[in-house]
Amino acid sequence: MKTLRWTAAAIAAAVALPVAASGATVTGTVKGGKGMRVTAIGLDGTANSAKIKKNGKFSLKVPNSRAKNATLHLLTSTGDYAGPIVIARKKARGYVRITTKTTALGTISKKSGFALVSTAPGKNQYSTSGAVKVNAKSGKPVGAGLLGLVRTGSTAKSSMAREAQGTGGNGGNGGNAGSGGGFGGQQGVNPNSPCGGAVGGDCDQDGVPNSMDVDDNGNLTIDFTDAVSVDTTAKLLTYSDVRPSIQDTLNYNTGATRDSINAFLGSQDLKRPTGLTLAFYYDERTLTGVEPSPALDTVWVQCESSAPWCAPGTSQATVAGMSEYPQILPSVPQFGSVNWSTYTGSVCGARSQPCQPQPANYPAFGFMKSSQQGGPQPQSIWTAFVKPNATDTLGQVNSDSVINLNYRTSPTAAPSTKPIGISPYMVTTPAITQVVANGTTQSLSYPYPADGPGTNDGNGFDLGTAGTLGLTLIPPQRLGLPGEAEQFYTLGGLFYGVTLDRLVVSSGSGGQGSGGGGEQRPNTEAGCAITPVSGVTQRPPATDPQDPWPIIAPMQDTTPTDGPATTVRTVGFTVDVKGCIQKYLPGSPTSGVSVSLSLIATGQPLQNGANRTGVSFSARLP
C-alpha cells in the first residue's frame, strides 16, 4: 500500500495547539439545558466547552483552527455525554459541523440523546461536509442515545472507502513497536480523515464522534474487538484487566449478579487478584495526532461528578507502576500504589531505578513518562495504570462518562484537551464449565469451592502422561450500553489462549536448573499451543515476527458480535501443556510437576496490551 506524505500545512492543521487568536463565537439558547455544557470537538479530537446559564443561553469561543471542522455536543451537568447538536437537516441528512463564520444558532431544543437547532441558520454558518445520517422525521442522528452502537451499513463503507486512505490494517505500514501491536497503521493515515487519524471525526456518520463512539465504523462490533478501529480511529481507547483465580470466577451464566460483580470489580483486597484495572497508554503521536509530535511536558485527566472515582474531592482511585517501571515513585515499593488525586506524575529512566516525581505544582491525576522502546522515531510514552476502587463500578466507570485527557508542551503553555469515553470493558471472566484430562471429563459448577480442583498446586487438574487439557468455557460479559435492552451482553470476537505462568518441580524430579525441586517461571508471556474444538478458529499468523498475540491468544471466537447474556453459548479447545513446558522451559521435567496456568480472553491488540480477562488455575503432570 502506498504510504502518504503529508505537507507541513496538513500536519499543522492536525496539531492540537491552543489558539488565543480569532475564532467563531457560537451562541444559542438550549431549552432545558440549565447547568449543561456545550462542547466543540475538532477533527483532531481537541475540544473546548462553555456552560449553559440558568436562562439556557451559552456563548462558546472556538479557535479558527478548530472551528473550520468542529461539531457541537451536549454534556450533562455531571459530565455525561448527552449527544450531538444537529444544526440543520435535509431529509435523512443532518449537518453538524460549524464553520469559522458560525455565530448565532438561536433556540436549540434538547431531545433524547441529541439536540436540534429549531431554525436552521444561514448556509454559511454550517458546513454541508461531514453530514450524518438522521431520522428524516425527527432529525435524530442514528447513533444518538446509543453511544454509536448501530449498524450504518453502506454509509460506513462508502465513508471508509472515500476517506480512510493509507491505513495499514493490523500492524500497518508502521509495524509493531513493543508488545501488543505498537503504533500499527498510523503511519500514512490521513490525520484529517474521519476514518483515518481523526479521533474527533465521525467515521460511520452516525452523529457520535469517534472519541465517544463505541463502534466507530458502524458494524455492530465494539471497537476494542475491531481490528480496523483499533488501528485507525480508536487510538485513544483505554484497556482493562480482570484476572482472578478460578475460585473467584465471575460470569453472568454461572450466577454472578450486579452486586457480586460490583463487589469484585471494586475490591481493594491486596492479598487476592481481584478488582478492575484500567490502563491509559499512549505515545505522543497518539495523543497529539501528529508525526513528528511536539514533546509534551505533562499529561493528566480531569473527570466530573458522573465519574466520582476520578473526580477531585471524591476520587478513590489509585495508580501504580507497570512491569517495565514497577516503582512509580522513590517512596513507593515496586508495584505499590498511590492515590491518583495527589499524584502529579513521574519521569522514568532506567528500568532498574524508581521513577522520579514531577513537580508538586503540576496537575494531579498525572501520568508516568518513559521512553519508547523501539519505533521509527524517539518519543515519550505516557501511561497510567489505575484501579478505580469504585463503590459502584458498573454505575460509575462507564462509557458515557466523559474523561478529559489533557496535555501541554511546557509549564507555561495552555493545555490541549481531548474528551474521551471509557472503552466498554469485560466486567466478568470466562467460566470453565468442563475439563477433559487424563481420559476423563469433569463438569465444573459454581460458586466454585475454595479448595476445588485447580485451586492450588496440591489439587491441580490431573493431565496424565499426555499432558493435554481440554477446556469448554462460557465467554465473559460486558455491561449493557445506553439503548440496549439487556443488562449484560456476552462478548463475541474475542481471542482466547492459555499461558504457562509457573512450574513447580517436586523433589526428585530432576531437570535442568531444578536442583531436584523448586519453582521455575518462563521469561516471557508463554502462550501454549492450542487446537480448536468448538466455537473458535485459529487466529491468523503474525505478519510481524515481534507480534506476540497470535502466540499468547491463538484462538478467535467465531461469533463476531455481542449477544444478550441470557443466551448461553460456549467455546472449546485443547491445550498442549506438556509441549508448553518443553518450549518455554527446555530441559525441565514433565512428570512429577505442578503448573500454574492462566486462561485469558482478549480484545484486539492495542499499543502495549489489550483488554483482557481470565482465570488462573493449577494442573499437574504425575
The pLDDT tens digits for 170-195 are: 333 222 223 333 333 344 456 678 88
> What residue numbers bound the domain in which 437 lies?
431-621
Query: Mean pLDDT across the chain, nearest whole number?
Result: 88
Of 46-55, 241-250, 333-342, 542-551, give the lowest mean pLDDT range.
542-551
The per-residue pLDDT for 377 is 58
Distance, CA of 405 to chain centre? 14
What is the rounded CA–CA span in Å between residue 226 and residue 493?
A: 8
Residue 92 buriedness (CB in 10 A; 0-12 / 13-18 / 19+): middle
The residue to which cell 448461553 is assigned:
568
Query: Which 3 state secondary structure label does DSSP give 475?
Result: coil
Residue 102: CB partners within 8 Å, gap ≥ 6?
24, 26, 62, 67, 87, 121, 125, 126
Model pLDDT for residues 441-473, shown as the tens digit of each residue: 999 999 999 999 999 999 999 999 999 999 999
589 and 459 within one domain: yes
481 and 337 within one domain: no
Provide the 10 A C-beta neighbour count for residue 153.
12
Last residue of a domain, one of 105, 133, 161: 133
Give the helix/strand (H/E) hosting 619.
Answer: strand 612-621
Give the helix/strand (H/E) hosting 11.
Answer: helix 8-14
Cross-strand bridge partners of residue 150: none
465 and 344 within one domain: no
* pLDDT at 532 > cutoff 70: yes
Alpha helices (H) along 183-291: 227-230, 258-265, 284-288
* Confidence grade of residue 49 (pLDDT, cut at 50, 70, 90): very high
What is the rounded CA–CA span in Å between residue 2 and residue 403?
A: 36
Model pLDDT for residues 86-117, shown as the tens digit of each residue: 999 999 999 999 999 888 999 999 999 999 99
Does any domain span residue 154?
no
Model pLDDT for residues 195-230, shown as the tens digit of each residue: 887 899 999 999 999 999 999 999 999 999 999 998
Question: Which whole-number Å values give the CA distances from 391 to 124, 154, 224, 275, 317, in the listed order?
Answer: 49, 42, 25, 11, 11
The per-residue pLDDT for 7 is 33
Cross-strand bridge partners of residue 25: 61
What is the rounded CA–CA span in Å between residue 81 and residue 73?
A: 8
435 and 413 within one domain: no
The per-residue pLDDT for 273 is 63
| Residue 246 zone, left/alpha/beta (φ > 0; ψ -120 to 50; rest) | alpha
Residue 255: CB partners within 8 Å, gap ≥ 6?
446, 447
The per-residue pLDDT for 471 is 98
559 and 541 within one domain: yes
What is the rounded CA–CA span in Å between residue 531 and residue 59?
A: 61
475 and 405 within one domain: no
The per-residue pLDDT for 111 is 96
Is it true that the peptide bond before 447 is cis, omega within 30 degrees of 0? yes
575 and 444 within one domain: yes
372 and 347 within one domain: yes
492 and 362 within one domain: no
CATH of residue 14's domain is 2.60.40
- Average pLDDT over every residue of 576-596: 97
Does any domain span residue 23?
yes
Does any domain span residue 484?
yes
Residue 348: CB partners within 8 Å, gap ≥ 6?
324, 325, 355, 356, 368, 369, 370
Residue 248: CB partners within 8 Å, gap ≥ 6?
264, 272, 273, 274, 448, 615
Can you give the length of the chain in residues?
622
Q: Single out the residue of 307, 460, 283, 271 nearest to residue 368, CA to CA.
A: 283
Residue 603: CB partners within 8 Å, gap ≥ 6?
222, 224, 225, 230, 239, 494, 495, 610, 611, 612
**Nearest 5°: phi and psi at 620?**
-140, 145
Does any domain span residue 252?
no
Does any domain span residue 607?
yes
442 and 371 within one domain: no
Report yes or no: 603 and 224 within 8 Å, Cβ to Cβ: yes
Does any domain span residue 249?
no
413 and 435 within one domain: no
The per-residue pLDDT for 291 is 82
599 and 451 within one domain: yes
Provide the 10 A C-beta neighbour count for residue 447.
14
* pLDDT at 63 > cutoff 70: yes
Query: Which 3 state secondary structure label does DSSP give 288?
Result: helix
Alpha-carbon dihedral angle through residues 579, 580, 585, 591, given to the nearest 10 degrees: -60
Last residue of a domain, one of 133, 154, 179: 133
* pLDDT at 22 > cutoff 80: no
Last residue of a domain, one of 421, 440, 460: 421
- First CA to last CA distance, the chain: 53
Does any domain span residue 308?
yes
Alpha helices (H) along 208-320: 227-230, 258-265, 284-288
* CA-derived radius of gyration, the chain: 25
Does any domain span residue 290?
yes
In the chain, how many domains are there? 3
